[in-house]
Chain A
């Protein structure tokens, strides 16, 4: 069954697998982004109603999807962007200080 909820959970697990198996710090940051996208998809799928339209006020249209998860996810995407930017900044500093991207070799 292919729907938003299932794909979001698969994305979450893929990201989790990425964090557990990778030693490269950039790949860890990428895995975090994948998990974040999984969560976004999860929330958007929660608000999904079949045969309805985006929650924008148009006269005569009243079958809209739940707008609250979308509003929440806008907040979450912004926070996640900030986190990714910070993580990549730290990665650059880590590379300057240790000369490697492998977290196991940073001693």
Chain B
């Protein structure tokens, strides 16, 4: 039994998906489907706890079909894969619990697509074969295209179509890259690819890297490849947004780490990636400037936080990669929580516009969990975001401009989250004449929020729990040559810097409120940017990367 756990992790959600689809044909009630989905989503958590003990003996490998290694399709669980699979099991389960009450328009097929998506997510993290990565990624995104359409009727359809077109384009780029790797090396196993990749000539490496950067850029929503993300994440139903923002975007980051760790022997790769990361971190914040829609604001901040992660990985030092991976985990927790909070607010008020919320103190649990998540994403010391952010920032001390851009992005983050706090909770609305009285959301929606808020604090107070056991071994397996990391927690100078950032963020908020008319003009300018232009921009960016790499190598 314990030997076959990796494959059980994949097929448990898959089998429950098939069962739930069969049952939806015969029965109109959702009760049995809910039980099946509950089992299919909670069992992987226990499998992973069992696998954790195995993991201490080294990487777990499982050959499907019993073929020998370079020819078989393998499942590989190392520390990185385990970390991401574990956080997936937590976020998907909590989102499922939340969706029970939150979503009113779901039908029998909802659970089918939900479980298929979860199965694809585990597949992405576990597989050791680069073509299988593509297959599992398609499994995930095809079901997310459908799940998005359960959101706001008209807009979600358009967002889903946009996501489909751009997502398919990413897959085609990825496939071309795989094809070129295959013709040069003749293998598809990721571990073996990393051994042989330095034999490929520079010209081909440049093309392969650019194709992969295009594919991963779209999947991980790096600016300028981010066009699909904001509409898709903001129109999806809130529990699905939490998974899309928490986990599905991270699959792009995960593939990025795997591809980057293959060891391309090209010049200036780190700098290119760090510049992309810095642009993404700042661009996400600037994009959020014009928004009044709470979910669009959060989606833009997903882009911004991905930028932080990419900078950390691009630095390619022990502390940078460890910080990047830790930020992946932390971002999954606090952005999941933020989307669930937004879902709770929309559930009671019925509008996404933060200017019309005026909740006040009527929803205390939502208020408290929102504040915890906002402090986490802003990187204030006792919460989890601060640990990973300080690790990423300390990895780019050699590049002062990038460090400065990250600090600006942090200021913008503080401004936007205090903007939501100010308009949604504190300020009373002018438009609603009668004083609205809202109730707290049902308990099955409160519980996931409270658990995630607890994780926000736990990961911040005891960072060693994850760092020492999982994340530092993961980063040291990616970067050959382990260098000792000195991570300073509760450094007074660091705390002072954080509060200076908060103060500057509040000043920026004041400017945003005063100048809101001019910002609305900017909004009209941005909305003119359509699908065709987005894809044109992506292609142009790819070609310029290709030319740049050709020049410097």
Closest residue of chain B to A42, judged by CB?
Answer: B179
Which one, A20, A68, A93, contacts B532 given CB within 8 A? A20
- A28 to B532 Cα, complex, angstroms: 10
Closest residue of chain B to A15, judged by CB?
Answer: B172
Instruction: Give chain B residues whose Cβ lies under 8 Å from the Cβ of A28.
Output: 165, 531
Q: Which of B95-103, B146-154, B314-322, B384-392 contacts A (4 or more CB under 8 A)?
A: B146-154
The answer to the question of B530 belonging to the interface, with a C-beta cut-off of 8 Å to chain A, is: yes
Instruction: Give chain A residues whose Cβ lies under 8 Å from the Cβ of B154.
Output: 97-98
Q: Mark B117-152, 1 if CB is under 8 A from A, else 0.
A: 000000000000001001100100010011001000
Instruction: Give chain B residues whose Cβ lies under 8 Å from the Cβ of A94.
Output: 157-158, 161
Closest chain A CB from B543 CB (angstroms): 11
Closest residue of chain B to A25, judged by CB?
Answer: B161
The answer to the question of B536 belonging to the interface, with a C-beta cut-off of 8 Å to chain A, is: yes
* A39 and B172 within 8 A (CB): yes
* B165 and A19 within 8 A (CB): yes
Chain A interface residue count, CB cutoff 8 Å, equals 36
Between B134, B146, B175, B539, the greatest number of chain A beta carbons within 10 A of the residue's beta carbon is seen for: B175
- A46 to B154 Cα, complex, angstroms: 43
The answer to the question of B176 belonging to the interface, with a C-beta cut-off of 8 Å to chain A, is: yes
Q: Mark B491-512, 1 if CB is under 8 A from A, else 0.
A: 0000000000000000000000
- A32 to B172 Cα, complex, angstroms: 9
Closest chain A CB from B341 CB (angstroms): 29
The answer to the question of A35 belonging to the interface, with a C-beta cut-off of 8 Å to chain B, is: yes
- A93 to B160 Cα, complex, angstroms: 11
* A23 and B532 within 8 A (CB): yes
Between A25, A46, A93, the greatest number of chain B beta carbons within 10 A of the residue's beta carbon is seen for: A93
- Given A83-B138, A86-B145, is A21 in contact with B169 using a C-beta cutoff of 8 Å? no
Instruction: Give chain A residues whose Cβ lies under 8 Å from the Cβ of B536.
Output: 20
The answer to the question of B182 belonging to the interface, with a C-beta cut-off of 8 Å to chain A, is: yes
Closest chain A CB from B183 CB (angstroms): 5
Chain B interface residue count, CB cutoff 8 Å, equals 30
* B169 and A19 within 8 A (CB): yes
* B164 and A83 within 8 A (CB): yes
The answer to the question of B168 belonging to the interface, with a C-beta cut-off of 8 Å to chain A, is: yes
Q: Mark B166-196, 1 if CB is under 8 A from A, else 0.
A: 0011001001100100110000000000000
* B149 and A86 within 8 A (CB): no
* A91 and B161 within 8 A (CB): yes
Instruction: Give chain A residues whose Cβ lies under 8 Å from the Cβ of B179.
Output: 39, 42-43, 46, 69
- A21 to B157 Cα, complex, angstroms: 21
Counting residue pairs across A and B whose Cβ atoms lie within 8 Å, the total is 84
* A22 and B161 within 8 A (CB): no
* B530 and A103 within 8 A (CB): yes
The answer to the question of A7 belonging to the interface, with a C-beta cut-off of 8 Å to chain B, is: no
- Given A43-B179, A103-B530, is A90 in contact with B161 using a C-beta cutoff of 8 Å? yes
The answer to the question of B15 belonging to the interface, with a C-beta cut-off of 8 Å to chain A, is: no
- A31 to B539 Cα, complex, angstroms: 15
Q: Mark A33-55, 1 if CB is under 8 A from B, else 0.
A: 00110110011001000000000
* A75 and B160 within 8 A (CB): no
* B530 and A83 within 8 A (CB): no
* A83 and B168 within 8 A (CB): yes
The answer to the question of B363 belonging to the interface, with a C-beta cut-off of 8 Å to chain A, is: no
- A86 to B172 Cα, complex, angstroms: 17
Instruction: Give chain B residues whose Cβ lies under 8 Å from the Cβ of A42.
Output: 176, 179
- A39 to B535 Cα, complex, angstroms: 18
Which one, A25, A69, A75, contacts B182 given CB within 8 A? A69
* B142 and A93 within 8 A (CB): no
* A19 and B164 within 8 A (CB): no
- Given A43-B179, A83-B164, is A19 in contact with B535 using a C-beta cutoff of 8 Å? yes
Closest chain B CB from A47 CB (angstroms): 9
* B158 and A106 within 8 A (CB): yes
Between B142, B157, B161, B535, the greatest number of chain A beta carbons within 10 A of the residue's beta carbon is seen for: B161
Instruction: Give chain B residues whose Cβ lies under 8 Å from the Cβ of A39.
Output: 172, 175-176, 179
The answer to the question of A10 belonging to the interface, with a C-beta cut-off of 8 Å to chain B, is: no
Q: Mark B10-27, 1 if CB is under 8 A from A, else 0.
A: 000000000000000000
* B146 and A97 within 8 A (CB): no
* A20 and B535 within 8 A (CB): yes
* B531 and A87 within 8 A (CB): no
Closest residue of chain A to B143, judged by CB?
Answer: A86
- Given A16-B539, A86-B145, A86-B164, is A97 in contact with B532 using a C-beta cutoff of 8 Å? no
- Can you sample 21 A-B contacts with CB below 8 Å? A19-B169, A20-B535, A21-B532, A32-B168, A36-B168, A39-B175, A39-B179, A43-B175, A46-B179, A46-B183, A69-B182, A75-B135, A76-B134, A79-B135, A79-B138, A82-B142, A83-B138, A86-B146, A93-B157, A94-B157, A97-B154
Of all A-B residue pairs in the complex, the 4 with the closest CB atoms, nearest first, are A20-B536, A79-B138, A46-B183, A90-B161
B interface residues (Cβ-Cβ under 8 A, vs A): 131, 134-135, 138, 142, 145-146, 149, 153-154, 157-158, 160-161, 164-165, 168-169, 172, 175-176, 179, 182-183, 530-532, 535-536, 539
